Amino acid sequence: MDQSKINVRYAKAFFTLAKEKGLTTELRRDAELIADVCATSTDFNLLLDSPVVKTSAKVKAIQSIFEGKVNVLSLNFLVLITGNKRERYIPGIFRNLEDLYRQEEGIKTAVLTSSQPLNNSIVLQVKQILEKEFKSKVELSQKIDETIIGGFILRVGDQQYDASILNQIKKIKEQLLQTELK
């Protein structure tokens, strides 16, 4: 079975349960916490991937880490995943869960890449323009990439607008290469 299929199936099952129980906001916070632990803790990821550590020991470790910090449903879901020997998919499952929550609430994610940090007022203006354009809430994050020299790259979902100086230089180079000298 493909890893992404496993991630999507478990995420959809948990999301459906959250909707049925009316706990989407609480379980979303749990999913964010768990995804954050997966993204920041190499020790936790090593535990999940380890073939040497027994399933029962992994369950105990997960319970000791998350008990009291997440809802009982979230904890039981983690135990279920681990009991089914799918614990190495936990990071992907919880990334997919976040996507499902955003999709349900109509939230678009956008990334604004620039060569240097932008003023907060500019970022706020960009966010307001995007929310007006897409008629939905937008979560805008910033990324710094000095190689673009100047300007910006805006990515919303699968759409990208590249107004970087690096891109302009590439376009000029292509035009010059295609132009015949007379």
CATH number at residue 161: 3.40.30
Q: Are residues 97 and 112 in the same domain?
A: no
Whether residues 23 and 112 fall in one domain: no
Question: What's the order of all strands across the beta sheet hosting 151-156?
Answer: 138-144, 108-114, 151-156, 159-164
134 and 59 together in one domain: no
The CATH number of whichever domain residue 92 belongs to comes to 1.10.520.20
**Which domain range does residue 27 map to?**
3-104
- Contact at 8 Å (CB) between 163 and 147? no
Q: What is the model's pLDDT at position 116? A: 94
Choosing from 87, 104, 121, the residue where a domain stops is: 104
Mean pLDDT, the chain, as a whole number? Answer: 92
Two tokens, residue 47:
């535990």
Last residue of a domain, one of 51, 85, 104: 104
Answer yes or no: do 36 and 63 share one domain.
Answer: yes
Residue 15 and residue 84 share a domain: yes
13-29 pLDDT, tens per residue?
999 999 999 999 998 99
With beta carbons less than 8 A apart as the criterion, state whether 150 and 113 touch.
no
73 and 150, same structural domain?
Answer: no
pTM of structure: 0.71
Q: What is the 3-state secondary structure (H, E, C) of 78-142?
A: HHHHHHCCCHHHHHHHHHHHHHHHHHHHCCEEEEEEECCCCCHHHHHHHHHHHHHHHCCCEEEEE
43 alpha-carbon distance from chain centroid: 20
Q: What is the DSSP letter of 70?
A: B
For residue 148, name the pLDDT band (cuts at 50, 70, 90): very high
- Read off the pLDDT of each residue in 82-109 and give the average, rounded to a whole number: 91
Average pLDDT over residues 117-134: 94
Does the pLDDT at position 84 exceed 70? Answer: yes
Do residues 97 and 118 both lie within one domain? no
Strands 151-156 and 138-144: unpaired
Give 31's contacts (C-beta < 8 A, 6+ positions apart): 14, 74, 94, 97, 98, 101
Looking at the structure, tell me whether residues 88 and 34 fall in a common domain: yes
The tally of domains found in the chain comes to 2
What is residue 127's predicted lDDT score, i.e. its pLDDT? 95
Q: What's the confidence (pLDDT) of residue 4?
A: 81
